[in-house]
């Protein structure tokens, strides 16, 4: 249920399908993804990205690690990202993120513990429980080409179901058996890497998840797009352009620097506009919140 009594500064303009002012907080909770899954009679696969006007999502730092540019990062986008995650039964992350959590600890962006009591989005954890979810947080699926990471002990102790999707050969390795012994099942889902169709079939029909959210980078997004298994594509488009001289120093949302609006199999069904957004570097920008639906899947 959306939250109430928000100040005017937290209002955004809905541009499409009809023009009106709506609260930011609760905006994506109002999408009612679990109900949408129930109406279609199948699982719903979603993704969400923050980009500039050219589809840039990250820029290399001095250590050649890709980071979300500070001139893009903002609390409004992060709030809506969490509202989508709060509706997910399982999130898809990557081995690289878990290695970053091990290296950075609390400085890593939190997609594992944020709904727990005392954490930043604990109210969304409470919302999940009121809405009928069995736990405060979604289960965790990891897509990876290697097993050189660890599932955090706090995740394992929480009772959260964890699983790893990887190549068939790696799933039969000694490392895979060690993960299985600690409570994380390793699932082979392709000969050379993870096949998006096999992974989603396992998560939906095999494990019964209704709402599946991809919460990792463009390589896994490409896997889902190739398999035609992405249903809803949420994009926050900041109205600025990240400057760069060398294309290898930036990471784009789609391979080949293609833009989301060039994906012919998707069309915009919801569009919102927000002004005077304060970013992490202290500047002010405007941004669009866009929802792209796969064509022919359902009536929005």
Structural domain ending residue among the three candidates 187, 209, 231: 209
Q: How much is the pLDDT for 1? A: 35
When the pLDDT of each residue in the chain is averaged and rounded to a whole number, the result is 91
Q: Which pLDDT score, from 0 to 100, does residue 256 have? A: 81
Residues 203, 214, single domain; the answer is no
Residue 2 lies in a domain: no
- 189 found inside a domain: yes
Residue with tokens 């992974």: 199
**Domain final position from 209, 240, 260:** 209
Query: Same domain for 162 and 196?
Result: yes
User: Tens of pLDDT along 155-169?
Assistant: 888 889 999 999 999
Q: Is 25 contained in some domain?
A: no
Q: Is it the case that residue 47 has pLDDT exceeding 90?
A: yes
Pick from 240, 251, 294: which is nearest to 52 by CA?
240
Q: Is 143 left (phi over 0), alpha (psi -120 to 50) or beta?
A: beta
Q: Are residues 100 and 199 in the same domain?
A: yes
What was the pLDDT predicted at 105? 55
pLDDT in tens, 194-221: 999 999 999 999 999 999 999 999 999 9
Output the pLDDT for position 4: 36
Q: CATH number, domain at 67?
A: 3.40.430.10
pLDDT tens track for 256-276: 878 899 999 999 999 999 999
Do 199 and 265 fall into the same domain?
no
The length of the chain in residues reads 300
Is the same domain home to 189 and 259?
Answer: no
Give the range of the structural domain holding residue 110, as residue numbers without chain letter: 90-209
The percentage of residues in the chain with a pLDDT greater than 70, rounded to a whole number, is 93
Inter-residue contact 143 to 149 (CB < 8 Å)? no
Omega of the bond prior to 17 within 30 degrees of 0, cis? yes
Q: Is position 23 within any domain?
A: no
- Flag whether 9 is in a domain: no
């Amino acid at each position: 249920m959306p939250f109430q009594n928000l100040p005017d500064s937290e209002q955004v303009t809905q541009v499409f399908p009809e023009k009106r002012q709506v609260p930011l907080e609760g905006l994506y909770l109002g999408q009612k993804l679990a109900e949408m899954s129930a109406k279609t009679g199948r699982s719903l696969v979603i993704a969400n990205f923050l980009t500039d006007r050219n589809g840039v999502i990250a820029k290399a730092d001095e250590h050649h690690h890709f980071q979300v540019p500070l001139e893009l990062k903002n609390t409004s986008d992060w709030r809506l990202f969490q509202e989508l995650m709060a509706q997910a039964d399982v999130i898809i992350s990557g081995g690289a993120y878990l290695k970053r959590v091990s290296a950075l600890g609390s400085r890593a962006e939190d997609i594992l513990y944020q709904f727990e009591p005392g954490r930043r989005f604990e109210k969304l954890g409470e919302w999940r429980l009121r809405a009928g979810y069995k736990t405060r947080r979604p289960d965790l699926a990891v897509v990876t080409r290697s097993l050189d990471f660890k599932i955090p002990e706090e995740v394992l102790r929480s009772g959260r179901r964890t699983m790893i999707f990887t190549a068939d050969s790696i799933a039969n390795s000694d490392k895979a058996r060690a993960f299985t012994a600690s409570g994380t099942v390793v699932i082979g889902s392709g000969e050379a890497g993870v096949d998006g169709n096999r992974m989603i079939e396992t998560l939906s029909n095999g494990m019964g998840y209704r709402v599946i959210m991809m919460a990792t980078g463009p390589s896994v997004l490409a896997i889902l797009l190739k398999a035609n298994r992405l249903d809803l594509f949420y994009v926050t488009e900041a109205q600025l352009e990240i400057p760069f001289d060398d294309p290898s120093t930036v990471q784009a949302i789609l391979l080949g620097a293609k833009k989301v609006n060039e994906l012919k199999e998707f069309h915009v069904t919801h569009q919102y506009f927000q002004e005077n957004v304060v970013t992490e570097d202290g500047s002010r920008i405007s941004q669009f919140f866009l929802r792209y639906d796969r064509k022919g899947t359902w009536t929005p």
